[in-house]
Structure formats: C-alpha cells, structure tokens
Chain A
C-alpha cells in the first residue's frame, strides 16, 4: 500500500514537473522568437532555415557549451536583422540547440535529432569525444558540420567531406611546437616524453617530426601513462643525454609532478608542452618549479584577434556576460556557413557545401579558409610561458 501511495505521489509530481517544464520552455521559446518577428517583413515570402548547434549545455563544462551557443546565436541574429535573400527568397535562420552533455553516446542521439529536424547545417560539437561519433551521422545525411573547438586530428581525417573545424588541430599544434622549439628556443638535442594517450602520443609524434625537419636531434623518446607520478627513472636517463629541451605530450596532472622532479634531479633543460598543460592546475601542481615552462594553446588570446575587441563588446551587450572561451570561433563558424550559402545562392546542403569547402571569410578570429581535409588553413597557435606562477602570453605562431 505504501508503495502504491508512493507511486501516485510520484506520478503527480511528474505531471507537475512536466507542466512546469513545458511552461518554462514555452516562455523561452517565445522570448527567442520575438527579435525575429519584429523585423516587420511579411512571413509569406520568408523561408525558415534551421541551423543546429550541439554542445554540453548541462554539467561541469556547461558554461563553455552555452558560450558556443551564444556565439552561434549572435551570428544568426545579425544575419536575420540584415535580411538575407538567398535563392530569391528571404531567409530567416532558426537555431536549434541541443545538449550533448559532452557524452559521446548522447552526442550521437542529438546528432540524429538534428538530422531528423532537417537542419541545413550544424555548428558543433564542443568536445572531440562527441564531435567524432556525431560527424558520421551528419556525413551520412549530407549535412555540413563545423566544430568550433574539437582539436583531435581524427575528426577531419575520416574522409568526410562534411566535416570542418575553425580551430587548429593537434597536428598543427605539434608542428608549430616543433618549429618553435628549434627556431625560437634554439634546442638542438631534444628529449620527447608522452603519456601514450590518443592526444599525448599524437601531439608528441607531430612534434618529433617537425623538430627533426627543423634540424634538431631527438635524443630519446620515452613513454609513461596517464596515472603515473614517478618519472625519476626516465628523467635520470634523459639527464645523462644532456638535452636542451624536454617535450611532454600529455596532461597537466603528469606534467606538474614531472616538472618538480626535473628540478629536483638538477636537469637543466627547457620544458615545453601542449594545451593539455596550459592550465591553472599545472600551476598548482608544479608550484614554484613550474616557473619558465612553456606551453601552447590553439587560437589566439581574445585581445589579439583581428576583431576580438569589437566582438567582445557586442557579446557583452547582447548576453550581459563576458566571453568564456570559444564563442568567437563559434561565431566565425556560423558566419562562414552563411557566407557559403550566399556564395552558392542556396541553403541546400548539397549545393552550398562546395562553396563552404573553398570559402575565404575574414572572421573575428582571423581568415577562415579550409584545406582539403576540412581543417582550417594556417590555424594559429599561441605560446605561453609561466612567469610569476601565471601563464603569460608570448606570441602567436602560424
């Protein structure tokens, strides 16, 4: 009996909740539509084009997902206000934003949902882990997809003509790091360590190749894994080879203790790593021993972007909050897609896709231009160095 009563309560609760959710959603929907309907055109000549966005809108990195969504929304609102005419019809874009929870499985579910909703294109997803499985679904449906922030090389190397990204990938990052190590930091003898993860190994491989091409000697290549914190044996053997520079392909949780052990063993070498290390956690884990370490990160700091300052103001005005991270990339991705539609004079994915592949669009973050795989051409990588226990911006390369 108790169970039954419990069941009833639960059903009532569920009903109340769904009503509440519906009400809230309804309210939201209305709010979003208002700016679009106030432009005063008659809806008879208007064609609604759906644009999909996917990213984590709940969970620990929801603020980044929302940030991307805002970037896309800003671009769409501007395009709607400008009153685009494509293929003889007045176009009004409508954003369908889905929450993939940064979960690969959920990523494929929302990707299918967007395909079923017949979106003309997708901006997303945020993480490499969700972007890669989702990209197959968009590819099979022939829908162009631009990720603002997924950096794993595999995403654009699956042979999908529909997959693009507006941020430099890990391969580009490794290449820039390799050249930087040799040409700027003057390293001749380099030791490479990686954590054998898809990210760390990939980045280290790219680094090694680029450093060799630039004329450096790779004196040793060592491995560890993503749970180890004891690197003394590796570092001692590296010390005996007297490297100018130690490169680490991996994450901050290993790089922090590694940095301490480097100093404790009295190894004199420059320490260089990728974006997995350019974090505040590295600063806390490495402590004072982290001083003068170098690391890179894709893209440029906001104040160095060609249109960064104006975009930041625009964003602040519209959303009443500062940019978190990737919004400028999401904004550029959406605008590049709109440019391609204009160039092809069609919103049909099959027709504007070739135009997107050969686009040359001057965006907020720089020139958006894709190579034959769909990666951004000349994507930039910025370098940072730890000074006074802070990551200080040095320069942007590439």
Chain B
C-alpha cells in the first residue's frame, strides 16, 4: 500500500509539471488552432537559463540568500522564455497565419530542432547538474516519502494554474483572449487587437513553461539540451487527453497522464512477470493518446475541437 501511495505521489508531481507545460500547448491551440511544437524546447531553454544563472551567482559568491538567487534564476528564465516565444511567434508563425494548416506545423518542428541545436551549441551535449533549490529531506507520509521540493512543485503548479484561470475568466485580457479564441475575425471587428492577444498568449504560455522547466530540472537535478523534446510530447498528449483548447482539460490531462505513467511503469514489470519493463513508461503516454483520439477525439473535457474541425 505504501508503494501504491508512493507511485500516486510520484504521478502527481510528474503530472503537475505536465499540466503546466500542457497549458502552453492548449492556450496556443485554443486561439490559433496551431500546435506549437517548439514549446517543449522553450521549456528546456528555461531550465538551461536558470541553470546558468544559478551557477553564475553561486560561482560569483556574492553571498546572496538562496531565496534571492532562486528568484533571480526564475526571473531570468521567465524573461528569456517570454522573449523567445514572442519572437518565435513573430518570425515563424505570424507570416504563415493565412497559409494552409500544414505550413505552421512544419515551421514549428523546424523551430524546435533549431532551438535544440542552439542549446547544444551554447551548453554542450553533456548533462549538467542542476543546483539544489530546496533541501532533499524526505518526509514520511504513511510509508511513502516526498521531499520539500516535490511539495513545492505541486504548490507552485497549483498556484500558477489558479492564477491563469483567474486571468482568463476575470480580466479584460482574459475576455479578449476568449473572444479571439471564439472567432478572431469578429473579435477583431469588435476592436480587439488580435496580434497583441496572440502574442500575449504565447508569452504567458512561455512563462509557465519556463517555470515548469526549472521545476523539472530541479526535481531530477539534471538539465540537458534534449530534455524538452519528450517532455513537450508528453505535455501535448496531456493536452489532447484533457481536450485540447480547454484549460481545465489540460490540467486534468496532465495529472491523469502523470498518474497513468507512474502506476503503469511501476507495476507493468510485475504484472507481465518481467516481460515488459518500466522502460515502457513512455509508451503509456502514447497509448493513451491513441486511445483518446480513437474513442473520444475531443478529449475528456473538450468540445471545441469538433467545432473547429
């Protein structure tokens, strides 16, 4: 039982990060109907920038308190990712907004590969140790352990997602975003600055992605130029699972996917007598994706996809 509880906790930690990244996919899809495949790389860049700042400040030995150092690293990561995502939209997506659907998809993949290679040039191919943000003391909950950092990850993700819901439902910007998602042309005629709203969507998604990147790197205490690729695919799967375009769906999908992966990978070895191992962890994500697309293409909470298509 304690092991099951442990797998559930693992799944929730993993899932909250998936949810945070999935929001970036789902927001952009909701507004543009575009799958921003470069989002995973934005997440990776966030982790790498934070890593550089943390190491730089630690190396400079200014003696600043750790909270300040972490805040500076997060701020730098968020700022770089926002700028990066803004530029990506301007350069790679905006000129193709009226092009057939396939064109922006291909540029998205192109940007993703480009960013990975740039990161490889800057930070090299090796694995980097991500500095410790919170003490790794394990807390015991009914036989399962959880660290301060993992609790922090869940809290931060929950707060950010709550904030996003408030932003979308209660503010002027949020109303404009919803209007643009509903019908860009009409929203434009009603005086909404479509381009600005689209840029804002990209930038907000990137900021959340940057935080997610830092959390993932801190959780596994490792950062690497290719860490964004699989993470991005998983988050995209989570968005589809929940219903792409639907904010609540992205959160639900992320948590569910994290749980499915953890429990699946944790027990498949025993269930199949060692025939299938836990390295099938990634397979679960894609099995889920295929199953959802076959039986409920709109996802668990989505209805908008049917409208769009």
Contact = CB atoms under 8 A, between A and B. Distances in A.
A284 B129 contact: yes
Interface string A198-240: 0000000000000000000000111111011110111011011
Bin chain B's interface residue count.
20 to 34
B220 A234 contact: no
B222 A256 contact: yes
Contact of B10 (A233, A281, A284): A233
B27 interface: no
A230 B14 contact: yes
Contacts, number: 96
5 A-B pairs with the lowest CB-CB distances in the bound complex, closest first: A240-B3, A233-B265, A223-B279, A223-B277, A237-B266
B194 interface: no
Contact of A220 (B7, B127, B138, B269): B269
Nearest to A259: B221
B145 A266 contact: yes
A229 B147 CA distance: 17
Given A229-B227, A232-B10, A237 B269 contact: yes
Contact of A265 (B132, B138, B221, B274): B138
A266 B3 CA distance: 12
A222 B272 CA distance: 12
B123 interface: no
Interface string B132-172: 10001010100001010000000000000000000000000
A216 to B, nearest CB: 17
Most A C-beta atoms less than 10 A away, residue of B221, B267, B270, B274? B221
Given A265-B145, A285-B129, A236 B3 contact: yes
Interface string A254-269: 0011001101111000
Main secondary structure of the interface of B (DSSP, over half): helix
Given A233-B266, A239-B6, A257-B221, A263 B136 contact: yes
A221 B227 contact: no
A287 interface: yes
B261 interface: yes
A196 B279 contact: yes
B279 A236 contact: no
21 contacts: A220-B269, A221-B277, A222-B269, A223-B277, A223-B278, A227-B230, A232-B10, A232-B14, A232-B262, A233-B261, A236-B6, A237-B267, A240-B3, A256-B127, A260-B136, A263-B136, A265-B145, A281-B127, A285-B221, A285-B222, A287-B132
B262 A229 contact: no
Nearest to A260: B221
A286 B57 CA distance: 21
A223 B220 CA distance: 18
B127 A285 contact: yes
